[in-house]
Structures are given as C-alpha cells and as structure tokens.
Chains A and B, each alone.
Chain A
C-alpha cells in the first residue's frame, strides 16, 4: 500500500506499509509486523500475533493437573524444563508441599541447562538474522551437548515433561553427572569463541550498539523482564530477589547492562550462560542423595517397574492416571526467572482435579509489546536487531 506523504513534506518520499512475516525467516516463528516506512525509516510498527494461538489456557481447564505438564513443554519449546518448573511450583504452592532436597537440586540443574540452551539458540538466531551464519552453527553444536544431557536424564531432547508435581520423573544418574561435568568444562571456551567472533566484530557492534535503546523507566513500565530488563540496568532477578528451590544457596552474579541497547542485551545473555554453568557446577557438588519425589502416594505415582509386579501399585497407578488428584480451593501465583524473563502461572482452584482457571504470564508476550515503541525512528534493518534482542518465542507469546 502506497500513499502520498502529506505530513512531512521535507522528505521526498512516499509512506509505505510493509508487512513483515508471519513467515519471514527473522520473524521468530509466526510474528507479523505491520511496519510504516518513510524511506528506510520506521514511522510505526504494530506487532500482530495470533497465528499460532492454541488455546493452552482453555485446554488446561479441561485437563487433570498432572496431564498439563506436557503442554507446558510446548510454550517456550527452547527451554521446556523451565516451563515445567513454573507450572509445578504453582500447583505445589496450592497443595502446600515441598519437594525433597535432591529434587530441588535436580530441578535447578534442569532449569539452568534450559537457560543455556535457550540463550544459545537466542544468540545464534539473532546472529543469523543479522547475517552471521557461523554463530548459529556453533550455537546449535553446543546446544546439542545440552540436549544430549536431557536425553540421558529423561529420554527426551526438546519437550522433556521432566518435572512432575511433587518432584521429578527420573533420578539424576552418573551418566548425566559426567555429561554435565563435560559441559561445564567445555562450554566456557566455546563461549569465548563466540565472543571472539561477535563481541569485537565491527559489523556486530555497528548493528547492535546504540540500537533499540530502552531506558530503565520505560522498561519497567512496559513490563519487560529477564535479560531485556536487566540490560537496561534494572537489577531484578527472581532467582536472587524471591529465591525458589535452592537458588539462595548458590553463588552467582546478576548480569546487568548500562545502556539498554541491543548490544547490552546480547552481553547480558552471554554472562548468564557463564553464570548458569557456575550454578550447574555448584549443584553437582552439593546435590545430596535421597528421594526425588515427595512421599504422598496420591500425588506421585509408583515407580513404573513396580506397577507390573504388584496389584496395589497397579491400582494406584490406574487411579493416578485416570482420576488425578484434588487440589485445595484457592488462588496462587508462582513465578520463576525463565530464560526470557518472569514466567508465572496463576491458578484458581475450585477444589477439584482440574484447574478452574490457569493463566500463564509469558515473558515473550510482555516483552514483545515493547517492540512497537522502541523501533520508531530507527531503520528497517534495526527492527530485526531489536526483535532478535527481545528473543520472543511464539509458542509462549501466542500460547
């Protein structure tokens, strides 16, 4: 659509509305941007989402509590264990149960590995959006190591469904431990490699430094969270400020930016990968032996191998699968620091086996609304940089 420009006669150009996506390679899935252009200059940008909408919350209202865990995997599918965690923490809050120590450490390892995997793909995709192909290949290579650990841990690589209300599905064994130790040993040097390629790279700096500046007041007001918020210099990390599981026992630094531009958002993620490795290392050292599930038979099914041998266990298993468990009446909200920011789950329970209402506070959804405000006055190419720096995943945004 081309129309005559009457508003600003200084520019001898026509205003153009450009539809970017929903199948553009840099649209991170199914984002459709309606961009107003004055030459190369962006005059307006309206994100249009909804192409993927799967009605996750409606589905949740019609499932048993334990049946919803696999659906959470498919929200931010780059880091499904984080989504599992936010959901099970919310249910556990309503049930008033605390998982055993060992399960807490395993959950933290799974969540931090998810963060590494999520950030790797985030940075890799960002680089490829701006024309640097090799970083994506490297990031995928390293992400494979993380996915291999998950495969050893629970048999799945992408959609883990690893956490369950009351604990985790499988124990953390020595094979996983060795794979984690290998990752902790290898990855820092690989991240150094990325930095050698990107951090000092002239093109990367030109494309990101000073681009998409978000001042801290705007970031807070817009509901930004996670690395995007911290890049603006706002020191808020749920792992530090409202620690859950064992984060209060772990030593780690919160990465902060100064300028709130795309480059800071990149650096914050780089530092977070290193800090996550640090946390995994500490968890490996401190993880105690013991049970991985709470000792409440209604909530946790019996071990699968016992189901085949014992009639009581078979009945127990059948009751768990077919009827689920009741959750006391009330409302609770639990949130975690997911790779993209605050991932919260709000549950209204009417005392039955199904949530009466389940609301997911998705960080990608909240972060993405900033885009339209930030890119005004920038060049079209900068829109891609800003979009990638917010790292939206559409399974979560369009839930």
Chain B
C-alpha cells in the first residue's frame, strides 16, 4: 500500500482498511492511472474487475461515490478504488482496462445517471431509453412518479 501511496501521492486522498477491505480514495482524473497501475504492477496484479457501483450521498457535495471493486486472481486480494463525482460530472470508464466493466457501468448510468467517459456504448440497461429520472438516486421516490401506468406513484413537483 505504501508503494501505491508513493506512486500517486498527489492523487490518492485516503487509504482505509475496514473489516479487512481496503478502499483507496482517489481523485477522479487519476482513476484510470491508478487502475492501470493496480492491474499491471507485479505486487498487485488486480486482473479481475468484480464490479462497478455508485452510491448517492445526497446532500453531500460531490454527491456520488463511484466504486471500482478489483480482485487479483493470482494474489487473492481485493481492493476498492473509490472516487467522488458531482452531479453533472462524468466518471472515467474502465472498459479499456477490463472489458467486463461494460454492463456494470451501464447499470450505474441507468440507475444514477452517472456518465462514464470513454464507455463504448453508454445506454440504459434495465429501463427503456425514454425513461425519465434515475431510480436509485435518493431523491427518486420508492414508488416512482405518477403517470397513466402508475396510479400509486408520487406526484411530480
């Protein structure tokens, strides 16, 4: 971990270990460099992308966390790379590093509206293309908004 911190001293904001899980908080612009480093460096070899997910921390600013869960099959270690993204900002796509980031990034876009820069085909994955709003955001009502298909939804302001 010291090696990682030394290599990216300016970009790494924090490294925490909680319940055995290591989380590296990095600057948004440094995510790709850190991920590339973690994948290629012989002491990490994080060759497997487990998941990409987002967390809405409304009303915090920046509002979202985007978390890249990595795993090293040869070293049997896990690391989470976390970055903070404000509303309207984009997060870097790691599809160029791990092809498997394709769908989870689309899922995060669909549910939270986070745009992943560099994603080859960023489109909604669960919801129809013309769906309004992002359901997993904290300000999206549990029952959705009222329309002709959803009489029990909340009224839109």
Please measure, in the bound complex, the distance between the C-alpha atom of A62 and the C-alpha atom of B138, giving whole angstroms: 11
**Chain A residues near B (Cβ < 8 Å):** 49-50, 53, 55, 57-59, 62, 93-94, 96, 218, 220-224, 234, 236, 241-242, 330-333, 335, 342, 344, 346, 348, 356-357, 359, 361, 365-366, 368-369, 373, 398
A-B CB contact pairs (8 Å), 12 listed: A53-B127, A220-B47, A223-B98, A236-B73, A333-B21, A361-B51, A361-B69, A366-B100, A366-B103, A369-B102, A369-B103, A398-B126
Confirm or deny: B31 has a beta carbon within 8 angstroms of a beta carbon on chain A.
Answer: no
B104 contacts A by Cβ under 8 Å: yes
Q: B18 near A: Cβ within 8 Å?
A: yes
Chain B, range 18-67, C-beta contacts under 8 Å to A: 18-19, 21, 23, 47-51, 53, 55-56, 67
The answer for the CA separation of A94 and B21 in the assembled complex, in Å, is 11
Docked Cα-Cα span, A342 to B136, in Å, equals 23
Q: When chains A and B are docked, how far (Å) is the Cα of A159 from the Cα of B76?
A: 32
B77 to chain A: closest residue by CB? A242
- Cβ of B119 < 8 Å from any Cβ of A? no
Find B19's partner among A94, A223, A357, A368 (CB 8 Å cutoff).
A94
Given A49-B126, A236-B73: A332 in contact with B21 (beta carbons within 8 A): yes
Q: Which residue of B lies closest to A95 (CB)?
A: B19
B92 part of interface (Cβ distance < 8 Å): no
Contacts A49-B126, A331-B23, A361-B50 given: A218-B73 contact, CB under 8 Å? no
**A11 → B minimal CB distance (Å):** 26
Q: How far is the CA of A365 from the CA of B104 in the complex (A)?
A: 9
Top 3 closest A-B pairs, CB basis? A223-B100, A50-B126, A53-B126
Interface 1/0 per residue, B123-149 and A, CB below 8 Å: 011111000000110001010000000
Interface residues of B, count at CB 8 A: 36
In contact, B69 and A346 (Cβ under 8 angstroms):
yes
Cα A346 to Cα B68 in complex, Å, equals: 12
Of A50, A220, A366, A373, which contacts B125 at CB under 8 A?
A50
B78 — nearest CB in chain A belongs to which residue? A333
* A-contact 0/1 string along B94-107, CB 8 Å cutoff: 00001111111001
User: In residues 82-128 of chain B, which contact A (Cβ within 8 Å)?
Assistant: 98-104, 107, 111, 124-128
Residues on B with beta carbons closer than 8 Å to the beta carbon of A218: 99
Known: A53-B126, A333-B21, A346-B67. 20 other contacts (CB 8 A): A50-B126, A55-B135, A57-B111, A58-B136, A62-B142, A96-B19, A223-B50, A223-B101, A223-B104, A241-B76, A242-B76, A331-B23, A333-B69, A344-B50, A346-B51, A346-B69, A365-B104, A366-B100, A369-B102, A373-B99
- Contact A332 B100, beta carbon cutoff 8 Å: no
Cα distance A241–B104 in the bound complex, in angstroms: 24
CB distance from A249 to the nearest CB of B (A): 18
Is there an interface contact between A220 and B76, defined as CB atoms closer than 8 Å?
A: no
CB of B49 within 8 A of CB of A333, answer: no
Instruction: Say whether A220 contacts B23, CB under 8 Å.
Output: no
How far does the alpha carbon of A331 sit from the alpha carbon of B47 in the complex, in Å? 23
The answer to whether B55 touches A357 (Cβ under 8 A) is yes
Which chain B positions have C-beta within 8 A of A94? 19
Which residues on A sit within 8 Å (CB–CB) of B18?
330-332
Q: Give complex CA distance A234, B76 in Å.
A: 13
A368 to B127, CA, bound (A): 17
**Which of B49, B50, B55, B127 counts the most A-chain CB atoms under 10 A from its CB?**
B50
- Would you call A57 and B136 a contact (CB within 8 A)? yes
**In whole Å, how far is B62's beta carbon from the nearest beta carbon of chain A?**
16
B56 and A357 contact, CB distance less than 8 A: yes
Contacts of A359 in B (CB 8 A): 51, 53
Verify B55–A333 contact, CB threshold 8 A.
no
Q: Determine the chain A residues whose CB is within 8 A of the CB of B98 once the complex forms.
A: 221, 223
Nearest CB to that of A223 among chain B residues? B100
Chain B residues within 8 Å of A53, by CB? 126-127
Nearest A residue to B80, CB-CB = A333
Bound: A96/B140 CA distance, A: 32
- B49 surroundings in chain A (CB, below 8 A): 223
Taken together as a complex, chains A and B put the C-alpha atoms of A307 and B78 apart, in Å, by: 43
Name the distance in Å between B127's Cβ and chain A's nearest Cβ.
6
Determine the distance from Cα of A105 to Cα of B98 in the docked complex, in whole angstroms: 36
| B50 and A365 within 8 A (CB) | no
Q: In the complex, how many angstroms separate the beta carbon of A228 from the nearest chain B beta carbon?
A: 12
Q: How far in angstroms is the closest Cβ of chain B from A154?
A: 29
Distance from B18 Cβ to chain A, minimum over Cβ atoms (Å): 5
